[in-house]
């Protein structure tokens, strides 16, 4: 082996050891509760919103502009009818919508302390306590149902959509907007059992999954480059932990591992779509079973130049901030300098938006149930 290869390999091994140490620390932080809320859905702890706040305040005005356009396109401005928000948390969506919609918005939230906090933060906002799966609301009574970064955390989407359909007036719309990264654990739980879901890559970022049968892991392991094996072993033991770590701290490790796996041809590997696409797929499947109609499913974005805020000040070298469904990145773009005034930054917010409609006509089963009720 020539000296260059030896040095490169030694460097790669040190780099991987560094990642392993970081993984251990991350595991420790997570079990100490720091990261748990973000991933597992501990919806009792209001500190969870602190974390969201740090990211959201960087692009909030751009998000509000995108939300305004989504509302205008999907929810009638002439009506005074109610707009039900599912999983309202501490009221982020009510901060983003324009006044004509805000007065019609009623939040529903399972955690009482969150809805109390929403009302303390904004006494003009409205919130009730309840569960999405059994809405305390009459059938055919609601003009529109909206939800902001919630359905990716639900484990029973079918029941949720049935409830949405039940409470909507015929022709009423359901709008789900995702500004945070889809909850990885819910999506992993829905992958087929008996496989280890390793990352897949497209270019230099993680784009989906490569499913390796549990029984094939040893065969795969023998073919992997030695420096990748310790990470793959952690992965094989606890994929949910490893993928979260890779997404949040070390995309490049995921990319290296994914490329190595891709190169191994004699292990059968099934590929699955990216996380956002997996979420959208789950939504479409559950929607279909509810009998509602899909109106649109895709990204909506807005760009805005704003005054620097305390969030931006944490990145003194950055004048550009972009949230692409939970992937917040800051950076400096020299071509923006002439465009930006004193203390200004450019922001862009890309949201995933899923819109469905309740049909005007009732389903056979519903008509039958009603005639049975009437016949009683
Ligand atoms: C990721 S947070 C988003 C909160 C808020 N929409 C926001 O964007 O800040 C998900 C919220 O949905 C609520 N939630 C989750 N499952 C729920 C359910 N089954 N019924 C009612 N609320 C639920 C949680 O308590 C939490 O407040």
131-175 confidence digits (pLDDT tens): 999 999 999 999 999 999 999 999 899 999 999 999 999 999 999
Q: pLDDT by residue (tens digit) across 39-72?
A: 446 677 778 888 889 899 999 999 999 999 999 9
In 3-state terms, what secondary structure has residue 90?
A: coil
Copy the structure tokens of residue 299.
């990204």
Burial of 78 (0-12, 13-18, 19+ CB in 10 A): exposed
Query: For ligand 1, is residue 55 a contact (CB within 6 Å)?
Result: no
Strands (E), the chain: 83-86, 105-109, 126-129, 142-148, 168-178, 195-202, 205-213, 269-272, 293-307, 320-324, 327-331, 344-357
Q: Using the 8-state DSSP alphabet, how is residue 134 labeled? A: B
117 CA distance to ligand 1 middle (Å): 14
277 CA distance to ligand 1 middle (Å): 21
Query: For ligand 1, is residue 111 a contact (CB within 6 Å)?
Result: yes
Query: For ligand 1, is residue 89 a contact (CB within 6 Å)?
Result: yes
87 CA distance to ligand 1 middle (Å): 4
Lowest mean pLDDT among 73-87, 162-176, 193-207, 350-364: 193-207
- Using a pLDDT cut of 90, give the percent of the chain over it: 59
Residue 359 has pLDDT above 80, yes or no: yes
Residue 307 has pLDDT above 80, yes or no: yes
Q: State the chain's mean pLDDT as an integer.
A: 86
100 CA distance to ligand 1 middle (Å): 24
Query: For ligand 1, is residue 115 a contact (CB within 6 Å)?
Result: no
Mean pLDDT value across residues 216-220: 94
44 CA distance to ligand 1 middle (Å): 10
Of 187 and 17, the structure prediction assigns the larger pLDDT to 187
pLDDT band at 3 (very low <50, low <70, confident <90, very high): confident
Query: For ligand 1, is residue 87 a contact (CB within 6 Å)?
Result: yes
Copy the structure tokens of residue 154.
């639900």
Indicate which atom in ligand 1 lies nearest the CA of residue 52: 9
Ligand 1 atom 13: residue of nearest CA: 87
Measured on CA atoms in the order 361, 102, 296, 291, is the torsion positive or negative? negative
Looking at residue 40, its pLDDT comes to 44
For 235, the enclosing helix (H) or strand (E) is helix 229-237
In whole angstroms, how far apart are CA 64 and each of 34, 114, 280, 314? 28, 21, 22, 22
Indicate which atom in ligand 1 lies nearest the CA of residue 147: 6
Of 370 and 194, the structure prediction assigns the larger pLDDT to 194
Mean pLDDT value across residues 25-50: 58
Q: pLDDT by residue (tens digit) across 256-269?
A: 889 999 899 888 88
**Residue pointed to by tokens 């030896």:** 6
pLDDT band at 36 (very low <50, low <70, confident <90, very high): very low
What is the Cα–Cα distance from 95 to 125, expressed in whole angstroms? 9
- Using a pLDDT cut of 70, give the percent of the chain over it: 85
Indicate which atom in ligand 1 lies nearest the CA of residue 131: 20
Ligand 1 atom 4: residue of nearest CA: 89
**Is pTM, for the whole model, over 0.85?**
no
């Amino acid at each position: 082996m020539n000296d260059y290869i030896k040095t490169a390999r030694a460097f790669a091994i040190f780099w991987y050891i560094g990642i392993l140490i970081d993984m251990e620390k991350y595991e420790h932080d997570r079990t100490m509760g720091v990261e748990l809320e973000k991933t597992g859905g501990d919806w009792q702890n209001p500190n969870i919103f602190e974390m969201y706040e740090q990211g959201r305040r960087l692009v909030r005005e751009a998000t509000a502009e995108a939300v305004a356009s989504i509302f205008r396109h999907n929810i009638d401005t002439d009506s005074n009818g109610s707009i039900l928000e599912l999983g309202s948390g501490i009221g982020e969506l009510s901060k983003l919508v324009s006044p004509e919609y805000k007065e019609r918005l009623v939040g529903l939230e399972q955690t009482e302390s969150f809805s109390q906090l929403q009302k303390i933060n904004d006494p003009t906002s409205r919130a009730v306590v309840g569960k999405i799966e059994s809405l305390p609301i009459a059938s055919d009574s609601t003009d529109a149902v909206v939800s902001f970064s919630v359905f990716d955390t639900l484990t029973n989407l079918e029941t949720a959509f049935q409830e949405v359909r039940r409470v909507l007036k015929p022709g009423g719309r359901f709008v789900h907007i995702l500004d945070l990264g889809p909850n990885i654990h819910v999506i992993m739980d829905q992958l087929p059992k008996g496989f280890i879901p390793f990352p897949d890559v497209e270019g230099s970022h993680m784009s989906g999954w490569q499913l390796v049968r549990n029984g094939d892991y040893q065969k795969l392991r023998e073919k992997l480059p030695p420096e990748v094996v310790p990470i793959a072993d952690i992965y094989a033991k606890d994929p949910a932990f490893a993928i979260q770590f890779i997404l949040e701290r070390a995309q490049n490790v995921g990319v290296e591992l994914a490329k190595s796996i891709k190169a191994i041809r004699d292990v059968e590997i099934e590929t699955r779509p990216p996380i956002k696409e997996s979420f959208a797929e789950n939504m479409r499947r559950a929607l279909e079973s509810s009998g509602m109609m899909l109106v649109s499913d895709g990204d909506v974005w807005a760009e805005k130049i704003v005054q620097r805020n305390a969030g931006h000040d944490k990145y003194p070298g950055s004048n550009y901030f972009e949230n692409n469904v939970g992937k917040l990145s800051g950076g400096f773009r020299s071509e923006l300098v002439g465009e930006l005034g004193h203390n200004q930054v450019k922001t862009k917010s890309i949201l995933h938006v899923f819109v469905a409609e309740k049909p005007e006509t009732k389903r056979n089963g519903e008509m039958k149930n009603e005639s049975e009720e009437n016949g009683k």
